[in-house]
Amino acid sequence: MKVIELIDVHKIYKTAYYEVHALSGVNLSVKKGEFVAIMGPSGSGKSTLLHLIGCLDKPTRGEVKISGIEISNLNDRELTKLRRDSIGFVFQQYNLIPTLTALENVELPLIFCGMNGGEREAKAKELLKQVGIEEVANRKPTELSGGQQQRVAIARALANNPTILLCDEPTGNLDTKSGEAVMKIIRELNKNEGVTVILVTHDPSLSDFADRVVNIRDGRIEVEDVS
C-alpha cells in the first residue's frame, strides 16, 4: 500500500528577481512501513521535497498524495489536520519551544488535538521514556544537550501516532555518538511500530539505516538503489 505518492512533482520558488526550480519532475512512491533515505548535496531540493510530503507546502505542478489523498485540493485547515494526525516532523535544529519543558513540548501536539491534561501528561511521559530521557522531563530545552533535545523532538513527533515520520538532517547538529543513538531510535520506531520513515540527509553513512536510498540532485531523482 502506498503511503506517499509523488507524480511528476515540480516546485518553483518565485522571488522578486529570479525563479528557483527546486524540484523538476520528481516521481516517488513509498510503501507503508518503509524506511527511505533521500540523499543529495546541499541545495538539491531535499527539504523542499520533505515539506511537500509533510503537507507544509503545495507543489507548483504535479500530484502529492498522502495515504491516497491529493493535497493540492486541501485548504489550510485540512492540511493542518493532516499534519497533526498523520505526520511527525524531526528537524535538524530540533525546533523545540524554548519556553516549554521537555514534557510540555511533547504535550503540545496533544493539546492541539484536544486531549485532556491527565491523559496528555501520561502519554508524554511514556513517549519520553520510549526515547530514553524521562529523567529530564522537567528541563527546558536550553538545559538539554543536542542529543537530548533531538530525542524530545522525536517524542514530540510521535505524540499523535503518525503514520509518517519525516526527518530533515536529524543528526546534522549532533556528534557521531549521539547521532548514532538518535538514528537507532528512529530505526527501532520503524521496525517495531511500523512507522514509515523518510530521512533526508547529505551524510552517506546514514544510508545503512534505510531500506532504500533515493539520490536527488538539482531537483531530480537520479538513481534508486533497492537493497
Residues that bind other proteins (CB under 8 A): 51, 54, 56-57, 76-77, 80-81, 83-85, 88-89, 91, 95-100, 107-109, 111-113, 117, 156-157, 160
Residues linked to residue 29 through DSSP beta bridges, in sequence order: 5
Contact call for residue 92 and ligand ADP (CB under 6 A): no
The secondary structure of 59-102 as a DSSP string is -SEEEEEETTEEGGG--HHHHHHHHHHHEEEE-TT----TTS-H
- What's the rounded Cα separation, in Å, for the pair 110 and 104? 10
Q: Which is nearer to ligand ADP, 43 or 132 (CB)?
A: 43
Residues numbered 16 to 35 that lie near ligand ADP (CB under 6 A) are 20, 22
One-letter identity of residue 202? H
> Are 193 and 45 a contacting pair, CB within 8 Å?
no
CB 75 to ligand ADP: min, Å: 21
- What's the rounded Cα separation, in Å, for the pair 133 and 22? 37
- What's the rounded Cα separation, in Å, for the pair 201 and 198? 10
Contact call for residue 47 and ligand ADP (CB under 6 A): yes
- What's the rounded Cα separation, in Å, for the pair 219 and 227? 23
> Are 127 and 159 a contacting pair, CB within 8 Å?
yes
Q: Considering CB under 5 A, how many residues would be counted as binding Mg ion?
A: 1
CB 180 to other proteins: min, Å: 25
Contact call for residue 46 and ligand ADP (CB under 6 A): yes
> Are 124 and 115 a contacting pair, CB within 8 Å?
no
CB 184 to other proteins: min, Å: 23
Q: Which is nearer to ligand ADP, 128 or 166 (CB)?
A: 166
CB 199 to other proteins: min, Å: 17
Cα 73-75-79 angle, rounded to 5 deg: 95
Build a one-symbol-per-residue string for 14-53: x at contacts with Mg ion by CB under 5 A, - elsewhere. Answer: ---------------------------------x------
170 binds, among other proteins, Mg ion, ligand ADP, none (CB under 5 to 8 A by kind): none
Q: Which is nearer to Mg ion, 35 or 91 (CB)?
A: 91
Q: Which residues bind Mg ion (CB under 5 A)?
A: 47
